[in-house]
Chains A and B, each alone.
Chain A
Amino acid sequence: MSKFLTISVLTATAASGIRLAAPFLLASLGETMGQRSGVLNLGVEGVMLLGAFGSYYTVLQTGDLWLAAIVGVAIGAIMGLITAVVSVTLKAEQGISGIGVFLFGLGMSDLLYQKLVGTPRPVAQLPAVNIPFLADIPGFGKMLFRQSLLVYLAILLVPALAFVLNRTTYGTKIKAVGENPAAADSLGVSVNRIRYSTVVLGNALAGLAGATLAMELGIFQQNLTQGAGFIAVALVYFGAWRPWGVLAGSLLYGLVAAIVLQWKTLGIIPLSASDLAATAPALITIVALVVVARRFRQPAALAKAYERGA
Chain B
Amino acid sequence: MNRKLLRTTSLVALVAVAALIGAACSNKKTPTTATSGATTGAATTPAEPFKVAIVAPSAPNDLAFTQSMVDAVNRLKDQYNLDIAVSDSLFVVEDAAAAIRDYASKGYDLVIAHGSQFGGSVQEIAADFPDVSFAWGTAGDTFRLPNVFAYQAASDQGGYVMGQMAAALSQSGVIGMVGPIEVGDAKLYVDGFKNGAVAEKSTVDVRVNYTGSFSDVALASEAAKSFVDAGADVMTGSAQMVVGAVGVAKENNVAWFGTQSNQTSLAPEVVVASQVYHWEVVLSQIIDAIKAGTLGGQTYNIDLANGGEVIEFNADYALSDEVKAIGDAAVQGIKDGTIDTGASA
> Do the two chains belong together in a single complex?
yes
Complex interface: chain A residues within 8 A of B209 (CB): 261, 264-265, 274
Q: Which of A75-97 touch B at CB < 8 Å? A: 86, 90-93, 96-97
Contacts known (A122-B243, A265-B226); A275 close to B61, Cβ less than 8 A: no
Q: Which residue of A lies closest to B176 (CB)?
A: A265
Q: How far is the CB of A132 from chain B (nearest CB, A)?
A: 23
Q: Are A100 and B22 in contact (CB under 8 A)?
A: yes
Q: Are A90 and B219 in contact (CB under 8 A)?
A: no
Contacts known (A92-B14, A122-B246, A217-B244); A106 close to B217, Cβ less than 8 A: no
Q: Are B215 and A106 in contact (CB under 8 A)?
A: no
Q: Which residue of A lies closest to B225 (CB)?
A: A16
Q: Which of B207, B221, B227, B229 contacts A267 (CB 8 A)?
A: B207
Complex interface: chain A residues within 8 A of B10 (CB): 90
Q: How far is the CB of A304 from chain B (nearest CB, A)?
A: 15
Q: Which of B19, B21, B247 contacts A99 (CB 8 A)?
A: B19
Q: A218 CA to B230 CA in the complex, in Å?
A: 22
Range of interface residues on B (Cβ < 8 Å): 35 or more
Q: Which residue of B lies closest to A260 (CB)?
A: B212
Q: Which residue of B lies closest to A277 (CB)?
A: B212
Q: Are A217 and B229 in contact (CB under 8 A)?
A: no
Q: Is A152 an interface residue (CB 8 A)?
A: no
Q: Are B215 and A221 in contact (CB under 8 A)?
A: yes
Q: Are A221 and B243 in contact (CB under 8 A)?
A: yes
Q: Which of B89-133 touch A at CB < 8 Å? A: 89, 91
Q: A278 CA to B179 CA in the complex, in Å?
A: 12
Q: Which residue of A lies closest to B16 (CB)?
A: A100
Q: Are B25 and A107 in contact (CB under 8 A)?
A: yes
Q: Are B247 and A219 in contact (CB under 8 A)?
A: yes
Q: A216 CA to B251 CA in the complex, in Å?
A: 12
Q: Are A261 and B222 in contact (CB under 8 A)?
A: yes
Q: Which of A104, A219, A262 contacts B217 (CB 8 A)?
A: A219
Q: Are B213 and A217 in contact (CB under 8 A)?
A: no
Q: A12 CA to B208 CA in the complex, in Å?
A: 18
Complex interface: chain B residues within 8 A of A265 (CB): 176, 207, 209, 223, 226-227, 230
Q: Are B11 and A86 in contact (CB under 8 A)?
A: yes
Complex interface: chain B residues within 8 A of A102 (CB): 22
Q: A13 CA to B14 CA in the complex, in Å?
A: 45
Range of interface residues on A (Cβ < 8 Å): 35 or more
Q: Which residue of B lies closest to A92 (CB)?
A: B11
Q: How far is the CB of A250 from chain B (nearest CB, A)?
A: 14
Q: Looking at the complex, which of A159-167, A173-181, A193-201, A222-230 is the stretch in contact with chain B?
A: A222-230
Q: Is A300 an interface residue (CB 8 A)?
A: no
Q: Is A119 an interface residue (CB 8 A)?
A: yes
Q: Is B200 an interface residue (CB 8 A)?
A: no
Q: A122 CA to B265 CA in the complex, in Å?
A: 9
Choose among A19, A114, A222, A278 the residue with the greatest number of B CB atoms under 10 Å from its CB. Answer: A222
Q: Is A101 an interface residue (CB 8 A)?
A: yes
- Interface bits A286-304 vs B (CB < 8 Å: 1, else 0): 0000000000000000000
Q: Which of A125, A226, A275 contacts B218 (CB 8 A)?
A: A226
Q: A106 CA to B90 CA in the complex, in Å?
A: 12
Q: Is A30 an interface residue (CB 8 A)?
A: no
Q: Which residue of A lies closest to B227 (CB)?
A: A265
Complex interface: chain B residues within 8 A of A216 (CB): 218, 221
- Further pairs besides A107-B24, A108-B21, A118-B61: 5, Cβ < 8 Å: A92-B14, A99-B15, A104-B18, A221-B243, A274-B209
Q: Which 5 A-B pairs have the closest CB atoms?
A: A278-B212, A107-B25, A103-B22, A107-B22, A274-B210
19 examples of A-B residue contacts, CB within 8 angstroms: A19-B222, A96-B15, A97-B15, A106-B22, A107-B26, A111-B28, A120-B266, A122-B243, A217-B218, A217-B244, A222-B89, A223-B89, A226-B217, A261-B209, A262-B226, A271-B208, A274-B181, A275-B210, A278-B212
- Residues on A lying within 8 angstroms of B by beta carbon are 8-9, 12-13, 16, 19-20, 46, 86, 90-93, 96-97, 99-108, 110-111, 113-114, 118-122, 125, 213, 216-219, 221-224, 226, 257-258, 261-262, 264-267, 271-272, 274-275, 277-279
